Structure 1
Amino acid sequence: MVTDNFLSTLNSLGELEQWCKNNLNIPTNENEAFVVSYKILYDNEEYEDDEDVEENDGNRFRIFISSIRLLNIISMSSYVCSDATYQLVWQDCPVLIVGTTDLNKAFHPFDLAICSNEKTKDFEFIFNCIQIGLKKNKDLLKPTALICDAADAIKNVFGNSYNQIMCWAHMKRNVENRISHINDKDIAKEILEDIEMLQLCNSTIIFQLASTLSSNIVSNWSIERDASSINVKLFVTEPTISLKLWTSSCRWATSTKDITCIPNDSSKQYYIPARDLQSITQVNLDKYENKNEQLLINSKNHLIFGNYLSKHVVGMAIRLKYCKPPAAAKTVPIGEKRKRGRPTMVKPALPVQ
């Protein structure tokens, strides 16, 4: 599309308005650009609504430029793609593009629109200009769907008159930004692959069923974690100590092992002897410290950082009176045998010599 280089030298709204008036006539050359329509509002004019008011400057303008050949493409399309780009600007104002795609997935623009903003009124002006251009070309735009990002300024122009399709490139970038926070990269990859498969679904019914299923799954997850629900799944902020762990911890706490405490400025380190030892010598402590191990307490069956708690940790808390075990953990296990007959109530008297 051929444009006048004079547009790049404009310095005022008055010059811009005069340029638009000079380029309103439809050219005979199908590839020559012309101004389909324009609208310029000066700061001393009344605005139609609040959207026509600029916060920093009352001057507003909207210009729609196209060509006969590009307008002919509009009549052959049933999908309209629209977006604003800051990769191409004029006087720091975004260029608003409307176009379509063919069956080879190639993009074909309809126009080059320059607006001082990118609100609903600006996109409404652009779509009205398309209809004006088609009337000049004796055609009519009959789109079945609008393809755009999630910007309300674009979607509000069409309202519910047409189907609205989210631009896949915008949607995928937003999903990738979200799942980048997932630590497990394999899960993040699977989520993205599932969404891509859903996007490729060519059946509206299947797509709606999958969308409903996904929404129901998320809703059920949320209901399960509602505090008022039966069998609620609460988010646990502290590890749960089972009765079995309480019982083994109580037995360990009553053992006669000699536990050594080495305090420092900010904490205390407790050293516990192994199963076959009743005490720890200073030689063993020095040997242990020289290894510079980070895991200070371990056992044969449990690791603190693996299962969060072991009988040693809970047992030390019981010894230091940081916690009180439940009564059920302190009872004598059922099944221990005792001697037959009635237990002796008193000790026999010393035999008299």
Structure 2
Amino acid sequence: MCWFHMRKNVEKNLYLVEDKALHGDIMNDIETLQLSTNKNIFDIATRLFLKKWKNEDKFLRYFSNEWLNSKNGWFEGLATHVPNTNNALEVTNRVIKDEDILRERLVLSGFTVVLYSIVNKWSKERNPTLINSKKFEHQPLITLSAWTHAYNWVKLNKDVVSICNSETTMHYLLAGEETRITDKEIKRYENCTFNSFGHVQVCLLQYMA
């Protein structure tokens, strides 16, 4: 589930909340839900989210039916180490529709001919021997700003607590400027002892696992 598209769809349905002043707070809370690092935290956080906004019946009915009861695979911890959006894939899809099939519905035999043409064109465009070839990046480009932020973060010299389980190792550290994390804080995070949605926000934004 693409987080970007999920977010856009939710924004389109915020009209179900009559008080426009609440729209920003609701979206901020949904962005917090998206940060859930596993299914257990996501389930607890969503229950507290629904409790917090229980007076917004129309919106919660839409949100529950559309994004909790069925398409609920939009939180970060569902699939780690993979992108949470598919924007790059969507761009490629649009290019194929606009430039190659001209948004026509093709029969399989006709699409096969077009497919061979697309592969041939893309192969030539990315031929490294050509002067104007499209460069295929083998590594992500890291900006100077990102390097600077990373360097400053490393200088904080944060404590990292590693806990090994049967097949995985979890690494815990505090976000922000804090450098030390206690066993009590780790246990509170692991046990998901959240008293309110506000507590969920503090934990998800403060602790990283």
Which structure is higher in RCO with an 8 Å CA cutoff and minimum separation 6? 2
- Name whichever structure is richer in strand by fraction: 1
TM-score of the superposed pair, with normalisation by structure 1: 0.22
Relative to total residues, which structure has the larger helix share, 1 or 2? Answer: 2
Structure possessing the higher radius of gyration over alpha carbons: 1
Q: TM-score, normalised to structure 2's length?
A: 0.34
